[in-house]
Amino acid sequence: MVHEPSAFRAELAAGPGVGSRVAEYWLEERIGAGGMAVVFRARDERLGRMVALKVMAPAVAADEMFRRRFIRESRAAAAVDDPHIIPVYEAGEAEGVLFIAIRLVNGGDVGSLLKREGRLPPSLVASIISPVASALDAAHAAGLVHRDVKPANMLLHIRKGRPDHVYLADFGLSKGMLSNRLTASGEFMGTPGYTAPEQIEGLAVDGRADQYALACSAFELLAGDVPFAESKGWAAVMAHVTKPPPPLTPHRPDLSPAVDQVLARAMAKAPEDRYASCQQFGDALQEALSLARARDAVVPAHGQAREALLSGARTVAGHDAGPTAVKRGRTGGPDSPSWPRRTAQIALAVIAVLACALVAAHVLLRPASKAAGPARFTRIRAFSAPRPPGLWPFVSSVAFSRDGRTLAVGLTNETSASPDNSGTTSLWNVATGRRIAALGSSGGPESFAPGGTMLAAVGGFGNSATSLWDTATGKRVGILADHQDASVENIAFSPNGTTLAAADSNGIVYLWSVPARRVVRTLVEIEATVTSLAFSRSGTILAAGLGNNQVLLWNRATGQQVGALTGAGDAPITSVAFSQDGSMIAASDQSGATYLWNAATRRRIATFHDPSSYGADAVAFSPDGTMLATGDSDGSTYLWNLSARTLAGTLTNPTGQVTSLLTGESRTAVFSVAFSPDGKTLAAADTNGSAYLWRIR
């Protein structure tokens, strides 16, 4: 079997362990290991932030040529300006230990996602490959070659109210950097499933070798296995040199043959026959996958009647279209079957019958159809702020003032190349539809204090402060800066307005005294990303939705955890809410499910599944507690009747131009929903830059 030198693996155990210190980093938990390094969750004592610290095996660190090149290329990678290259905080050596400190992300790697879920939908693959291609091109422009591109080096960072962020990691750990002395044993230093022919033959490599590996990665994500998977050991390595690129469509007959052509070019034996850049390959792949993406988007993911019909369709079509993973870490809809050609009349007849049955099921399972919607649910207003030149704002949050007269709409701006921190929160007069204020350097999650005279708003990407705004004057009256200089992901005012809870990207929740502008309590026992916060009506309980599919309950006064809600699925929680009377707690997750608990007994009492879901992103109770709204990444808001446990209506936002960085399922996402205080209207965010107001009674 092709592997990394056994000396590396044997010496990993001899390196630093949990509880020890490397430079200024305390090693708190071992979170991963490979042939060359052990990865720890570590605390930077100087800045008080958590990082992922990769500690190299002693055999690797002892190689002088590798040490020098490792530090040089790690620092060079840190200087590359691309939002999809994992931030490198430090790379160096301390008492003979070679290490690199990078950002700690919460969503794991794409290779692990593939192992859990099997082959991935085309839209998800495109949304992963494209940003990685962008990162590679930026590195190549800076003179860097990765040499070890693979799904395991593609990391996912889950962010509430925004698409998952993809990072490319391990520039400084590329196995191709090892000196000849370390490879003298004849063992191949690389990852066989992805290595370009010129790299295997020991020839000079450039960015086109990374493109080859990226194409192999795309093949694996779509097929569920690497190219040349039938070969083992050295045969698998040499297949990249001697065999033509295998076609993908035998593994995925639902995909267009154009996908085979794109992958074959990117995996050409001669580097000059490949695409001019990784992004050019990524764009070509996305275009080739577009037909499959359309099919992937319409197949329902939930419902026993639908599943029975789909099972029948799979039997007739002769293909296994089992469930696969979809955008934002959830388990999603089945792959679309590849229908027989029109040459068989009997197949046509069967397909027609099945299509009619699916339409009938769709009507039966969605009480508020699009045709019936306007009679009960009417879109009455759109709030669209001016679009700054060169920016692509999408609505990441909506919130009503307590009197219902003002709607806060948070816009997150993105340029075509990188995120921008200059988000804006617009305040709108609900009655007239006129914008009354624009609050700069904000745009993230918002929360109104009681009475609506103060608004707390988080800035754009990476912002580590929460601004307090006087809504009457449009002036900033205070800044609450995160103590670890980490990005603030979620905020929530207590019902009396004296406390603001703020969760940062390190998983720490701070309770701020708003009048004193100081932290009065810190909840530090949360070991996962906090995706949502909500106070009970009395203000005594704080609920925190987590990226590890949990909902924890905390006593605000004591800071002690007082409970955990069980019975949710395996997907990350995206939003959590209390009913106004405090009797119920709801939480949505990325699988498209929303769970309902009795707040007193903490027993789950209902589960709702958004039809055709791309992932439930937001949840809100109506003020009277009779209805639950769930915003979904499929562009719709679903209204659930809580007493009957049935779907009461579907509100679908208009489509419109969106940022090019939002692809696949994210192009029509509803990241936030909010009921007006009287319960008669509902605001829904949209990635096209507008917020929509719906009359629901």
Backbone angles phi, psi at 167, to 5 degrees: -120, 145
Asked if residue 343 and residue 272 are part of one domain, the reply reads no
Statement to judge: residues 387 and 491 lie in one domain: yes
> What span, in angstroms and rounded, lies between the C-alpha atoms of 420 and 392?
10
Q: Any idea which of 76-80, 87-91, 424-428, 555-559 has the lowest mean pLDDT?
A: 76-80
| 449 and 541 together in one domain | yes
Amino acid at 405: R
CB of 555 closer than 8 Å to CB of 571: no
Alpha carbons 220 and 598: distance in angstroms, whole number: 43
| 685 domain-assigned | yes
Half-sphere exposure of 85 (CA within 13 A, CB side): 26
Q: Let me know whether 242 and 352 are in one domain.
A: no
Q: Report the pLDDT averaged over residues 173-196.
A: 51
CB 456 within 8 A of CB 493: yes
Both 579 and 453 in one domain: the answer is yes
97: domain CATH number is: 1.10.510.10
Report yes or no: 662 and 163 within 8 Å, Cβ to Cβ. Answer: yes
> What pLDDT is recorded for position 264?
96
652 domain residue, yes or no: yes
The pLDDT value recorded for residue 4 is 38
Q: Across the strands, what pairs with 155?
A: 109, 167
* Catalytic site residue from 44, 148, 504, 634: 148
> Buried b / exposed e across 106-115, counting CB within 10 Å, b at 16+?
bbbbbbebbe
Query: Is 456 domain-assigned?
Result: yes
Bridge pairing between strands 330-334 and 378-384: unpaired
Let me know whether 254 and 354 are in one domain: no
What whole-number distance in Å separates Cα of residue 642 and Cα of residue 677? 18
Type of residue found at 114: L
Q: Which of 346, 365, 384 is the last residue of a domain?
A: 365
Provide mean pLDDT across the span 283-296: 69
pLDDT at residue 118 greater than cutoff 70: yes
| Separation CA 426–CA 406 (nearest Å) | 10
Mean pLDDT, residues 440-456: 79
Six token digits for residue 346: 């009997």
Cβ pair 34, 190 in contact under 8 A: no
What is the secondary structure of 108-140 as a DSSP string?
-BHHHHHHHH-SPPHHHHHHHHHHHHHHHHHHH
Share of the chain above pLDDT 90, in %: 38
- Whether 294 shows a pLDDT value over 90: the answer reads no
Mean pLDDT of 436-447: 78
**Tokens standing for residue 643:** 């007493």
**Tens digit of each residue's pLDDT (9 = 90 or more) over 207-261:** 999 999 999 999 999 999 999 987 776 778 888 998 999 999 999 999 999 999 9
CB 56 within 8 A of CB 16: no
Residue 219, SS3? helix
Domain boundary among 293, 317, 352: 293
Question: Distance (Å, rounded) from C-alpha 185 to C-alpha 207?
Answer: 28
**Out of 278-287, 322-331, 592-601, least confident range:** 322-331
Please state the pTM of the whole predicted model.
0.50
User: Residue 595 is which amino acid?
Assistant: Y
Q: For residue 264, give every residue at least 6 positions away whose Cβ sits within 8 Å of its Cβ, in sequence order, or none.
A: 244, 245, 247
CATH number at residue 667: 2.130.10.10
In this structure, are 475 and 397 located in the same domain?
A: yes
Q: Give φ, ψ of 309 to 5 degrees.
A: -65, -45
Q: Do residues 322 and 331 touch, judged by C-beta distance below 8 A?
A: no
Is residue 537 a part of any domain in this protein? yes
Question: Which among 623, 500, 515, 633 has a CA at the least distance from the CA of 574?
Answer: 633
In this structure, is residue 1 part of a structural domain? no
Contact 592, 609 (CB under 8 A): yes
Q: Which of 636, 627, 570, 572 is nearest to 596 (CA)?
A: 627
CB-count exposure of residue 473 (10 Å: 0-12, 13-18, 19+): exposed
Whether 148 is catalytic is yes
Residue 462: C-alpha distances to residues 138, 203, 528 (Å): 20, 41, 18
Instruction: Tokens for 261, please give them.
Output: 């052509």
Q: What is the mean pLDDT of residues 84-95?
A: 86
pLDDT at 180 over 60: no
At residue 485, does pLDDT exceed 80?
no
Both tokens assigned to 369: 């159809």
289 and 306 assigned to the same domain: no
Domain count across the chain: 3
Q: pLDDT of 554-607, one tens digit each?
A: 999 888 889 999 777 888 899 999 999 999 999 999 889 999 999 989 999 999
Residue 59 or residue 180, greater confidence? 59
240 with 320, same domain: the answer is: no
Domain membership of residue 323 as a residue range = 299-365
On whether the CB atoms of residues 687 and 668 are closer than 8 A, the answer is yes
Q: Is 80 part of any domain? A: yes
Among 242, 262, 293, the domain-final residue is: 293
In a domain, 581, yes or no: yes
Which among 655, 668, 659, 596 has a CA at the least distance from the CA of 625?
596
Q: How far is CA 517 from CA 229, 445, 447, 482, 500, in A?
A: 59, 19, 16, 12, 10
* Domain contains 556: yes
Q: Specify whether 330 is located in the same domain as 443.
A: no
Beta strands in 95-161 (DSSP E): 97-103, 154-157
The letter for the amino acid at 420 is: D
Which pair of tokens denotes residue 415?
Answer: 């340029």
Mean pLDDT of the chain: 77
Distance between first and last Cα of the chain: 66
Give yes or no: residues 633 and 551 share one domain: yes
pLDDT of 657-676, one tens digit each? 554 444 444 457 898 999 99
Pairing status of strand 636-641 against strand 646-652? antiparallel
Assess whether 360 and 380 both reside in one domain: no
Question: Looking at per-residue confidence, does 81 or 687 come out higher?
Answer: 687
Question: Is pLDDT at 377 greater than 90 in this prediction?
Answer: no
- In 458-501, which ranges are continuous DSSP H helix? none
- The confidence score (pLDDT) of residue 181 equals 32
Query: What is the pLDDT at residue 305?
Result: 27
Mean pLDDT of 340-350: 33
| Residue 178: per-residue pLDDT | 36
Residue 612: HSE in the Cβ half-sphere, 13 Å Cα cutoff: 22
Strand ranges (E), 368-423: 378-384, 394-400, 406-412
Give the pLDDT band of residue 537 (cuts 50, 70, 90): confident
Higher per-residue pLDDT: 527 or 278: 278
How many other CB atoms sit within 10 Å of the CB of residue 416?
A: 10
